[in-house]
C-alpha cells in the first residue's frame, strides 16, 4: 500500500457478505447518509464493461447519486487478474483520500477484498505456461488431471477451489510451477488477526440460507426480465467475445452453454445458475467468517432495515 493508505487519520469503511444480501443497496444508502464516502466496488465481474444485468451492476442513476469506482475497467474479451484489481484499488483509494473523503468498499469477492485491505504480494504471470496448462485442460480428463497435480503440490489451494473451476486450477498451478512456491503461500484466504494495512471498519451482512436461496431465485428472475439473455448473446457476438475469466461469470456461463447447445433448455441453464449462485454464497460466508475483524449484522428481512445498525457499528469501530 502507499503511505497514504496506511496512515489515513480516519478509517475507511467496508461492507461485505454473500451474494444477494443487499450489500449494494445498503452501501448506497449509507453513502448518501454519511456524505463523505465514495463507493469502491469489490466485484470480480463488475470490472467488465457491458456485463451489467448479470452482475447486478449499479445503475447510471445510482452512480450519479454517489461516485462509484472500479466498475468497467476492462473489455469482456480481456482476462482480468487480482493484481490488476489491487493496483486499481490503490489508485482509487489514494484519489479519494486526496479529496479528504473516505472509501466504502462494497462487494463479495473475498480475494479481491483481502488483496486491497491486507495488501499481500501477488505472484507474476507466466502466460506461456498458462497456455500449456489450458491446452492440457482441454484434453480428455484434463481438468481432473490438473486438479490432482495441484492437490499433490499444494493441497491447501486445491481444497479451496471448486473441482470444475478450470480458471482457478490453472492459475494456482501456473504460480506453483513457475515460482516453485505453493500458490496458497501467497496469502489468499489467510486472514490476519492484527490490523489490516488499509485501516478499515468492516461490517458484514448475514442472511439465513433459506432467505439467501429465495433472494437468489428472485434476482435471477429479475435479471432474465431485465434482458440477461440478450446481454449474453450480444457479448458473445462482439469482436472480442468473452475471455476465459469473463465467461466463468455465474449466469453468463450457463446462458452461453444454452445458446451454444450444451444445455438443451433455458430453464435448465437457469437452474444451474441458481445452484452455482447458492454455492458461491456458501463460499463467501466461509471466506468472510474467517476474518475476525468483520462485525456481522443479520438482515433476513429488508436489508435496508439494517442500515441504522450498520452505521452505528461503523461509528463504534472507527
Taking phi over 0 as left and psi of -120 to 50 as alpha, with beta for the rest, 251 belongs to: left
pLDDT of residue 299: 84
Helix (H/G/I), strand (E/B), else coil: 52:
coil
pLDDT for the residue 10: 52
CB 20 within 8 A of CB 55: no
Residue 138 DSSP symbol = T
Sketch out the chain's domains with CATH numbers: 3-120+196-317 (3.40.50.300), 127-186 (1.10.20.140)
pLDDT at 9: 44
Instruction: Please name every residue paired with 105 in a beta bridge, in sequence order, or none if there are none.
Output: 14, 40
- Strand order of the β-sheet with 12-16 is 68-69, 37-42, 102-107, 12-16, 200-206, 294-298
Task: List the one residue out of 157, 201, 192, 154 whose CA is nearest residue 290.
Answer: 192
Give the CA dihedral 191, 197, 199, 203, nearest 10 degrees: -20
Contact 270, 163 (CB under 8 A): no
Strand partners, 200: 12
140: CB partners within 8 A, 6+ apart: none
Pick the closest to residue 270 from 245, 295, 241, 250 (CA basis).
250
Cell digits of residue 104: 466504502
Using alpha carbons, list the distances in angstroms from residue 90 to 8, 12, 95, 291: 13, 13, 9, 21
Indicate the pTM of the whole model: 0.83
Residues of the chain with pLDDT under 70: 1-10, 187-196, 318
* Helices and strands in the chain: count of H runs, count of E runs: 15, 6
C-alpha distances out from residue 26 to 13, 34, 317, Å: 13, 12, 18
Tens-place pLDDT, residues 229-243: 999 999 999 999 999
Identify any residues that bridge with 41 across adjacent strands, giving them in sequence order. Answer: 106
Burial of 94 (0-12, 13-18, 19+ CB in 10 A): middle
DSSP 74: B
C-alpha span between 265 and 258 (Å, rounded): 6
Amino acid at each position: 500500500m502507499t503511505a497514504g493508505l496506511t496512515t489515513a487519520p480516519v478509517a475507511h469503511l467496508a461492507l461485505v457478505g454473500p451474494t444477494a444480501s443487499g450489500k449494494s443497496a445498503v452501501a448506497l444508502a449509507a453513502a448518501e447518509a454519511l456524505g463523505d464516502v465514495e463507493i469502491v466496488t469489490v466485484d470480480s465481474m463488475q470490472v467488465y464493461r457491458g456485463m451489467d444485468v448479470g452482475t447486478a451492476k449499479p445503475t447510471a442513476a445510482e452512480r450519479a447519486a454517489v461516485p462509484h469506482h472500479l466498475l468497467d475497467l476492462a473489455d469482456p474479451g480481456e482476462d482480468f487478474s487480482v493484481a490488476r484489481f489491487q493496483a486499481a484499488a490503490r489508485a482509487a483509494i489514494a484519489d479519494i483520500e486526496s479529496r479528504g473523503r473516505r472509501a466504502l468498499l462494497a462487494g463479495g469477492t473475498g480475494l479481491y477484498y483481502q488483496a486491497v485491505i491486507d495488501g499481500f504480494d501477488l505472484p507474476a504471470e507466466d502466460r506461456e505456461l498458462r497456455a500449456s496448462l489450458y491446452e492440457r485442460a482441454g484434453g480428455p480428463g484434463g481438468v481432473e488431471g490438473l486438479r490432482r497435480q495441484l492437490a499433490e503440490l499444494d493441497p491447501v489451494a486445491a481444497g479451496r477451489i471448486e473441482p470444475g473451476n478450470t480458471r482457478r486450477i490453472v492459475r494456482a498451478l501456473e504460480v506453483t510451477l513457475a515460482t516453485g512456491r505453493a500458490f496458497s503461500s501467497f496469502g489468499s484466504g489467510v486472514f490476519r488477526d492484527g490490523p489490516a494495512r488499509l485501516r478499515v471498519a468492516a461490517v458484514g451482512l448475514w442472511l439465513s440460507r433459506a432467505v439467501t436461496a429465495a433472494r437468489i431465485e428472485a434476482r435471477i428472475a429479475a435479471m432474465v426480465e431485465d434482458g440477461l439473455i440478450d446481454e449474453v448473446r450480444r457479448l458473445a457476438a462482439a469482436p472480442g467475445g468473452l475471455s476465459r475469466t469473463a465467461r466463468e461469470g455465474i449466469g453468463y456461463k450457463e446462458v452461453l452453454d444454452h445458446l451454444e447447445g450444451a444445455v438443451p433448455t433455458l430453464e435448465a441453464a437457469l437452474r444451474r445458475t441458481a445452484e452455482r449462485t447458492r454455492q458461491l454464497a456458501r463460499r463467501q460466508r466461509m471466506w468472510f467468517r474467517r476474518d475476525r475483524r468483520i462485525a456481522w449484522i443479520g438482515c433476513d428481512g429488508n436489508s435496508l432495515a439494517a442500515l441504522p445498525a450498520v452505521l452505528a457499528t461503523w461509528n463504534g469501530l472507527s
